Structure 1
Amino acid sequence: MVIDAVGLTKAYRDVLAVDGLDLHVAPGEIHALLGLNGAGKTTTIRMLLGMVRPTRGRVSLLGSPIRPGARAVWAGVGYLVETPSAYPDLTVDENIRMAARLHGLRDEKAVAAVISRLGLDRHTRHRARTLSLGNKQRLGLAKALVHRPGLLILDEPANGLDPAGVVEIRQLLHDLAHSQGVTVLLSSHILTEVARLATRIGVLDRGRLVWEGAAGDLVAQARPRLSVVVHDRPKAAAILHAAGHPTADNGDRALTLTGDRAIRRPEDIATLLVDAGCPPSRLAVEQDDLETCFLRLVGTR
């Protein structure tokens, strides 16, 4: 495993920020951590990177245990955590060159390539403090990528980017993973982007990993239902219940049916109600969106 964390726990006095987290990320995988604010995503990433010492548990990256003084592993790791850092009075070009030198890299082509890939060509002579939030994020990503790491750990990599920039970063990470075999662990709150990009997703809630699986499995959590709008809801509910179709009232003039028979053959429901003198004015099969599935997993409405 490229990332192997077992029993990862972090307590701050009476606050348990991360609680017994097991995380295993395979080579070439794009693994996303999802969670509400305060779920423990950033604390987890900081422990993986050795920025915060775990209360309990162990971590290894690229086969090397993360502990004080373990330096060799960082040659293969690139990271961006929370707010991107830069020397404010150095230019974009100088900041990236400085990051390259810290990794022992003096390849001019590597610096030029990462500047071009992150769309920073027009800003190379601009001081870092003058950049927009989006371009500061691009600079942080460029510094993380300049030494061509085999593992990228990114905390909200699309933060501050406009929609076009979000798509560019998605394509960049996709290409790195699928063309160059780079392993990516990222946290994000942009659920639709995560679903398009990630191969696996872990959902954190109050420091615990409450769900983990393939990205497609999260989408499959969506529950189909038949929504029926009628004038007389109590009468329609009684008719449907008597026919073996239990209903729920969603409070918006509609009855909800979740049984397989109703969802597969909504025309039978319509016929049943019409024959009983309670015709529906609307009848439609609906499905939860990705946000609803996510909020259900973390127990939030």
Structure 2
Amino acid sequence: MVDYVIKTNNLSKIYFKNKVVNSVNMHVERGKIYGLLGKNGAGKTTTMCMLLNLTYPSEGEIFLFGKNPKKHSNEIYPKIGSIIETPGFYENLTAYENLEIIAKLRGDYNPFNISSVLEMVNLSQAKSKKFKDFSLGMKQRLGIAAAIMHSPELLILDEPINGLDPFGIKEIRALLKRLSHEFGITILISSHILSEIENLADVIGFMDNGVLIEEMSRDELFNRLDKFVEFEVSDIDLAVNIFKELELRENIDFTVNGNIIRLYSHLNMRDKFNAIFVKAGIDVKKVNLCEENLEEFFTRFVSNN
């Protein structure tokens, strides 16, 4: 039996007669990184806020660690760490001082825990540096440190890589993978940055207009990506005519963009097509066997649902 840390049944949220989250059935397995992927306004943040009891569902049910949070909130929510929107800290206090205040407010102050999480997020060398002097990536890592300081089993992160430069994104990605793989923390992360979810998540939930369209594993996603061959040719019109003539005998699926033809069928015949082009006097500059990226898949997937 699959152990789901998060499970929802027809979870919905209505604001002023507008259903911003519509009958979401989510399944987040223990120990996995689940990427909730969707454009801005898709309903990701509202869904997370309902999971964290920051806003109440209009319809549906939530189960966290197999239990109803309405009946077991005191047991459930101490097991969860979260970042919703930008983490808030005191600008003129150091990283250590900020975490010290949070720990004392929680009632679980332990100097060793603070030093440990600062080291875990690679901020131990900056623990005496004031928050106002932090880079955006450092601020995000301090936010994660605050969220994991009480050793949660589940981490819910809303757009933690938003606005980061490539180096900052790489740091957060490495940190989240470590938290999952080494410490067994289940992570639910939302993002509109498709490539980053592709590199990070074990399972991806595709959300659009408040609807969770589908959940799929990373392996399943890669199996469903369209494969195609790209021919870059010197005479695109002649190449298109050749394909059209061949298409009288075979159903050839292709598109044209500039001087590039994308072939979506008969991929194992690319050598034959290349020879036909060359024989017709077409200079074939490149022949590449390609795979669509997550952004292309997401666009195609959402438009078809």
TM-score, shorter chain, exceeding 0.5: yes
Partner of 1:10: 13
Contact between 1:16 and 1:207, CA under 8 Å: does it hold in 2? yes
Of 246, 251, 256, which residue of structure 2 is paired with 1:250?
256
Q: Give yes or no for the alignment of 1:266 onto 2:259.
A: no
Within 5 Å, give how 1:44-59 maps onto structure 2: 44-59=47-62
CA distance 1:224–1:102, shift in 2 (3 Å): same
CA distance 1:177–1:91, shift in 2 (3 Å): same
Partner SS for 2:19: strand
Q: Give yes or no for the alignment of 1:296 onto 2:300.
A: yes
Q: Aligned partners of 1:168, 1:133: CA distance in 2, in Å?
A: 12
Within 5 Å, give how 1:121-160 maps onto structure 2: 121-160=124-163
Contact between 2:35 and 2:201, CA under 8 Å: does it hold in 1? yes
Of 71, 78, 82, which residue of structure 1 is paired with 2:81?
78
1:213-267 CA distance string (max 9 Å, x none): 11122233321223343442453133211231424442423443322xx201212
Contact between 1:75 and 1:103, CA under 8 Å: does it hold in 2? no
Partner of 2:35: 32
- How many residue pairs match? The answer is 297
- Once the two structures are TM-superposed, the CA of residue 191 in structure 1 deviates from its matched residue by 2.7
Q: Aligned partners of 2:18, 2:6: CA distance in 1, in Å?
A: 25
CA distance 1:251–1:112, shift in 2 (3 Å): closer
Contact between 1:49 and 1:66, CA under 8 Å: does it hold in 2? no
TM-score (norm 2): 0.87
1:125-171 CA distance string (max 9 Å, x none): 34434433332222211110111111111112223444333223222
1:2-33 CA distance string (max 9 Å, x none): 11111110111132211000111111111110
Of 268, 287, 294, which residue of structure 1 is paired with 2:291?
287
1:164-196 CA distance string (max 9 Å, x none): 332232222222222222111111233333222
Partner of 1:94: 97
Report the AA paired with residue 208 of structure 1.
V
Q: Aligned partners of 1:116, 1:227: CA distance in 2, in Å?
A: 47
Q: Aligned partners of 2:295, 2:161: CA distance in 1, in Å?
A: 18
CA distance 1:292–1:127, shift in 2 (3 Å): same
Structure 2 gap segments, 5+ residues each: none
Contact between 1:195 and 1:216, CA under 8 Å: does it hold in 2? no
Contact between 1:32 and 1:186, CA under 8 Å: does it hold in 2? yes
Q: Give yes or no for the alignment of 1:112 onto 2:103.
A: no
Partner SS for 1:166: helix
Report the AA paired with residue 298 of structure 2.
F
Contact between 1:270 and 1:280, CA under 8 Å: does it hold in 2? no
Q: Calculate percent identity across the aligned residue pairs.
A: 34
Deviates more, 1:81-90 or 1:3-12: 81-90
1:46-92 CA distance string (max 9 Å, x none): 11101011111111222332239923322211001111122344432
Q: Aligned partners of 2:137, 2:282: CA distance in 1, in Å?
A: 54
CA distance 1:143–1:269, shift in 2 (3 Å): same
Deviates more, 1:77-86 or 1:246-255: 246-255
Structure 1 gap segments, 5+ residues each: none
Partner of 2:64: 61
Partner of 1:239: 245
